[in-house]
Chains A and B, each alone.
Chain A
């Protein structure tokens, strides 16, 4: 079981808006540790999509946005495109006994 909980799958039609949630606890997201998001296309390495809760690296379209509130964070994708079909992972830091950098279990986005 992942420390950060994501829905296994979400879907949307081209042009629509979808959101992916990442639920944590008081030892990670709720402790105000930053949340970051990665996109993993089939057979490739994860690629940084959002860092520091809301920031996009250079080259990432502004269709992708991040937000955080309380013990949860969300990734929103607007104007859905076929090439957005991928796995998405959230990541943060956890200050429990394990004290590690942790990932969500991943969410498969299907573009219908």
Chain B
């Protein structure tokens, strides 16, 4: 059974860096693709970034210059860092596993397992 669990500070000051970790059990992070997705309070979902099994990454242009996604295979974890945060970055942050059919086509990517989410508030 695949399980994901986000962890990190729930409160970050404006202009500082938001740091979150996703711990995965039931699947090797080296064998799949992984994502960070966020949901501002009362709003919809926004894809932030992917990290692939070869360590390569892809980011949403809306946050690209501020985001770093990385993986620690020894701990079966992957992480998100978002710099220079503002109140607009206040959201529930989810980590998720990316799934795709045998074609591996990016146009078919979907998110089949999600963490419970963690609320990060940006405030002084």
Chain A interface (Cβ < 8 Å from any Cβ of B) = 2, 31-34, 36, 38, 44-48, 51-52, 57, 89, 91, 93, 95, 97-106
Q: Interface size of B by Cβ–Cβ distance < 8 Å?
A: 24
The complex places the Cα of A33 from the Cα of B2 at a distance, in Å, of: 26
Which of B99, B107, B117 touches A33 (beta carbons < 8 Å)? B107
Contacts of A105 in B (CB 8 A): 43-44
Min CB distance B15 to A, Å, is 25
The complex places the Cα of A102 from the Cα of B37 at a distance, in Å, of: 10
Which of A34, A44, A89 touches B107 (beta carbons < 8 Å)? A34
Contact B116 A101 (CB under 8 A): no
Interface 1/0 per residue, B90-116 and A, CB below 8 Å = 000010000101000011111111111
Chain B interface (Cβ < 8 Å from any Cβ of A) = 35, 43-47, 60-62, 94, 99, 101, 106-117
Query: Main secondary structure on chain B at its contact with chain A?
Result: mixed
Given contacts A45-B115, A98-B60, contact A93 B94 (CB under 8 A): no
From B46, B47, B62, B107, name the one whose CB has the most chain A CB atoms within 10 angstroms: B107
- Give A103's nearest chain B residue, CB to CB: B45
Contacts of B99 in A (CB 8 A): 51
Min CB distance A101 to B, Å, is 4
The complex places the Cα of A51 from the Cα of B96 at a distance, in Å, of: 15
Pairs A–B under 8 Å by Cβ, sample size 25: A2-B44, A32-B107, A33-B108, A38-B111, A45-B115, A45-B116, A46-B114, A47-B114, A48-B112, A51-B112, A52-B101, A57-B112, A89-B44, A91-B110, A91-B111, A93-B106, A93-B109, A98-B60, A99-B61, A100-B47, A101-B35, A102-B47, A103-B44, A105-B43, A105-B44
- Give A34's nearest chain B residue, CB to CB: B108
Contacts of A57 in B (CB 8 A): 112
The complex places the Cα of A32 from the Cα of B99 at a distance, in Å, of: 18
Min CB distance A51 to B, Å, is 5
